[in-house]
Amino acid sequence: MQSGTTSTPLFFQKKTDSFRYYDWVATELAGCQDADDLDCLRRVDPKKLAIPDGVRFDSARAPNWASTLFPNLPVGPTVDGVTLPDVPLRVVEKGNHNDVPLIVGFNRGEGSLFGFLLPKVVPGLQMPLTEQGLRRTLNYFLQNETAAKEIEKFYPLGQYSSVYGLDNGPFEQAFAFMRDSLFHCPGRQLAEALVNKGKSSTWMYSFDKADLFGPLGSFRLGILSPAYGNLTVAQLGNFHSAELPFVFKEFSENPANFSRPSLSLITKSYTAHPPRQPGDAFHRISDALSCMWTHMASHGSPTGPQQHCPGLSDGGIPSWLPYNSSLDGSQAQGVYMHIGDELSMWPWRSNNVYPDNEMPSIEQCQLWNEHSFEFRNLRADLPGVTTGSPATPSPAPTTPTPAPTTPTPASTSPISSAHHREGFLLMSFGILALLL
């Protein structure tokens, strides 16, 4: 399961949350009586279901119940108690999963692209991010000022400003918040549950290719938009889906064409710049990933004594220890394979502090595990709304509500959520392996 999440209500939606959101879609976008008006919904032009630009911050049109990530990634699997009996983590904790070997892993910079979505979802958030803006973001997602202050103490601005400077510290904090809450900490919970409730082995990895962007890493994104201030490309790090070109060896022996900007330019900036050649550092990582992934499929483990990897010398891949192994005789708190320019086994630690935080600390995860991001009334914190209580679905309009004829981009930032698609597909495959 690459870059997956296993429990957050934003992605595995409660039945009541999902149905209330789709009532809004049916009435406000499709112009139907309600979500049960199937005759109307079957006749709707799919283009009308595109979320209109600007609707999130319009107090008259915003959903009265939706994911706090709306309008980005507003839908997800619905926990209906039948097809999906519970969120994957709870299914495993109850011992009702398929007891099969599993790899669970993440990229070190999972949260960076999600951090770029924040101005599209958090009311009143000003960019570039500041300490106050970060506090507003935490309060928005958690809806609990006490919890927000507690979490903020575990991500001190002084630490997160130590590498890229004070101006960029809040960005680094936001990237870490999103990474730990949505990916790394739920992933560790899943690994712990698999160890406790199953007999099959679980392996964990962290993908962290050093200097991924090379000399392009120093490019300031503020040149593209003042909203990004002094933020550099290097701060994207090993972002969500960055490992996919390595898994599928999607490299180019031709240089990237930077004169023609496109959504894929961010990946071309490291898969084709400079032109990648067989035997270079990028190909060696790809050869290792291909070999371990195929060995997992054929043998039920990512490494083995007779393993031979084309493109790598024998012995080039160390033994990948299961998650619940111990290193150097120490008490097991979880171990993982660091996948980068070198492959090596590393432990989860209690004393991880930025920037030495390829994984969050165990204490940070324990805190995140106590809180979650829930659906809420998105009109409650907008101008012109006098109550924060959940609103009931709006009555159906007498005439269909106008909708745009073409889909509107999810974000005006140079980083598009389109880059998440492959990552969420692989996440889904991993979850299906557990549940089906």
Determine whether 167 is exposed, middle or buried from the number of CB atoms within 10 Å of its CB (0-12, 13-18, 19+). middle
- Residues 50, 55, 58: CA angle, nearest 5 degrees: 165
Q: Range with the lowest mean pLDDT among 253-267, 268-282, 360-374?
A: 253-267
- Residues 24, 30, 32: CA angle, nearest 5 degrees: 80
Looking at per-residue pLDDT, the higher value among 343 and 253 belongs to 343
- Assign 414 a pLDDT band (cuts: 50, 70, 90): very low
**Residue 88: predicted pLDDT:** 95
Looking at per-residue pLDDT, the higher value among 314 and 88 belongs to 88
pTM, 2 dp: 0.85
Region 13-435: CATH code: 3.40.50
For helices 131-142 and 145-153, the axis angle rounded to 10 degrees is: 130
Q: For residue range 351-365, list pLDDT tens digits in order.
A: 889 999 999 999 999
DSSP 149-213: HHHHHTS-HHHHTTTT-GGGHHHHHHHHHHHIIIIIHHHHHHHHHHHHH-SS-EEEEEE--TTTT
Strand partners, 367: none
DSSP 364-381: HHHHHTT-----B-TTTT
Find the length of the chain: 436
- Residues 230, 242, 167: CA angle, nearest 5 degrees: 15
User: Looking at the predicted structure, is the pLDDT value of residue 396 above 90?
Assistant: no
Nearest to 121 by CA among 74, 173, 186: 74
Distance between CA atoms of residues 133 and 138, nearest Å:
9
Please say whether the beta carbons of 163 and 63 come within 8 A.
no
Q: For residue range 128-179, list pLDDT tens digits in order.
A: 999 999 999 999 999 999 999 999 999 999 999 999 999 999 999 999 999 9
57 SS3 class: helix
**Residue 263: predicted pLDDT:** 58
Average pLDDT, integer, range 48-69: 95
Report the share of the chain in percent with pLDDT over 70. Answer: 86
Reply yes or no: is the peptide bond before residue 52 cis, omega within 30 of 0: no
**Position of tokens 């930077």?**
258
Please say whether the beta carbons of 375 and 382 come within 8 A.
no
Amino acid present at 144: N
Average pLDDT along the chain: 87
